[in-house]
Amino acid sequence: MWRRDRERLCVPSWGPTRGKTRVLVEARDGADGWACEQILEREGYEVAICEGPESGRIPCPVLEGNDCPAARGADLIVSLLNLSHAPSRTVVRALGAMRPARPIVIEVSDEDRIRNADLIARTTALDAPVLGTQLSRAVDEALAAR
């Protein structure tokens, strides 16, 4: 997880609740996650960042068949994961199956829309690359629709 001070933590986690809506950002790399964090925090959200299953830095609990505590604590999930990789699809599918359900906003390419239509159908899809106003609007709409 990246914070404003860019200190790396081993496992994404949530501190005590501050009364803000919590958004988990599943990012391909720290820079993408950090940019999303800044956008969403400016909008008043509390944000945690996970580098996703392909970083190799920490084991992904979902890929090991376990629950994801960071996702469990989130009100909404933003996925910037590369859907052309099987581990990323596995994570997005597992997050979509969580109960109670959490809204998912997902960055997709034109190719993703064709190859992964079933996966994307239950999410709010954003065209890649995600832009600030586009992200904020999608998060607001996904939360309003839940």
Per the domain annotation, does 130 fall within a domain?
yes
pLDDT of residue 8: 42
Q: Domain span at residue 122?
A: 22-145
Per the domain annotation, does 82 fall within a domain?
yes
pLDDT of residue 2: 37
Per the domain annotation, does 12 fall within a domain?
no
- The residue assigned the tokens 């609990």 is 61
pLDDT of residue 58: 72
Per the domain annotation, does 13 fall within a domain?
no
19-43 pLDDT, tens digit each = 899 999 998 877 788 899 999 999 9
Q: How far apart are CA 102 and CA 27, in angstroms?
A: 17
CATH number of the CATH domain containing 49? 3.40.50.2300
Per the structure, the count of domains in the chain is 1
Q: Which residues of the chain have pLDDT under 70?
A: 1-11, 56
Per the domain annotation, does 1 fall within a domain?
no
The values of phi and psi at residue 126, to 5°, are -120, 135
Per the domain annotation, does 127 fall within a domain?
yes
pLDDT of residue 31: 74
